[in-house]
Structure 1
Amino acid sequence: MNKNLQQISLALIALSLSGCATIFTGTTQKITVSSDQPDAEVFVNNAYKGKTPARFSVSKKGNNEVITVKKDGFISQDIATQKGFNGVAILNLINPIAWGIDLLTGAVNRVSPNEYVIKLEAKK
């Protein structure tokens, strides 16, 4: 009986030291970028991520990411991701440690939208 009480106590301590949004939604989020031109190159903050349609993870922490879509013969397009409040963080209730963890890891944010469709215009 005493061992069960110890295990329950350890589990409760572990849960109280973890942010809910960090546990349930993580610190990164998958987004999809597609374009009206197949095989356009996709960059996030100048780092190559693949060709359209591309699916990859972006960090929820810090500033908005800049997505650039390029293809020869077309004008490149830039779009910034938008970050907003992740409602799952409400599960932290009044636990300041959990709120702190979610704030430090970025899990308190969500990227919206999670799908971007880019229209590329032909160069003249």
Structure 2
Amino acid sequence: MNAYLRIGAALVAVSSLSACATVLRGTNQKFEISSVPPGADVELSTGQTCVTPCKLKLKRKESFTATFKKPGYQTATAQVESKFTGAGAGAGNILAGGIIGVLVDSGNGSMRSLRPSPLEVKLVPADGSAQ
């Protein structure tokens, strides 16, 4: 009976450590945002703000819209998608973690990446002329 308990405990311990992408990639992503010209105020639909160029730590599982504003330029928006990265992120789970690791990683967003990355937006002058 003790042998069964030890095996069960070992399986539970291994399963709890099997979320490979969570361990290797994390649930957040360092995300760079820039504009041409620089110095634009950026507001994300998630509530974060910055002035370009900037770097933010964002959750991998949340798609968002970025709105760029700069005096003398038209307001611009860009969509950033949270996309499943699959192959590399999930390979460790298939080999070592099994279904529990896949469920953990897919639920917390660690198997996803924000795209495009980095995000760069070219602002258009308010008068519509090209620069």
Tell me the residue number matched to 1:73.
72
Moved over 4 A (4+): none
Q: Percentage identity across aligned positions?
A: 27
Query: 1:1-124 maps to which residues of 2 (within 5 A)?
Result: 13-18=12-17, 19-45=19-45, 47-62=47-62, 64-86=63-85, 87-93=88-94, 95-124=98-127
Q: CA deviation at 1:84?
A: 2.2
Number of aligned positions between the proteins: 115
Q: Is the 8 A contact 2:35 2:120 kept in 1?
A: yes
| CA RMSD, 1 decimal | 2.1
Higher Cα radius of gyration: 2
Tell me which moved more, 39-48 or 102-111: 39-48
Structure 2 residue runs without a partner (length 5+): 1-5
Letter in 2 for 1:95: G
Q: CA deviation at 1:90?
A: 2.0
Letter in 2 for 1:112: R
Task: Give the strand-richer structure, 1 or 2.
Answer: 1
Letter in 2 for 1:28: N
Q: CA deviation at 1:85?
A: 2.2
